[in-house]
Amino acid sequence: MLSLADLEPGSVVKIATGVETGRRLSSLGLVAGTEVRVVRRAPMGDPLELEVRGCRICLRAEQLRQVSVERVS
């Protein structure tokens, strides 16, 4: 299974079911079944900019390793 930290810009994925992301990530919209697009990585590779439910957020790869995903396209 992939994590959000493993993806390259342009990837579109769905959050895998049964993911326990913690309260902070859940409040940002990273819940099971949500579609996420990786917009870009910072020049040194961390953090990543994501588009979730029409909003863009930046998170560190360490946090994103907790989130399992399934490829959409």
What is the residue extent of each domain of the chain?
2-71
pLDDT at 68 over 90: no
Distances from the Cα of 5 to the Cα of 11, 66, angstroms: 11, 9
| pTM of this structure | 0.82
**CATH T-level topology, domain 2-71:** SH3 type barrels. (2.30.30)
User: How buried is 51 (Cβ within 10 angstroms: 0-12 exposed, 13-18 middle, 19+ buried)?
Assistant: middle
Mean per-residue pLDDT of the chain: 86
**pLDDT, tens digit, for every residue of 2-20?**
888 888 999 999 888 555 5
| Closest C-alpha to 64, from 53, 72, 16 | 16
Residue with tokens 């490829």: 71
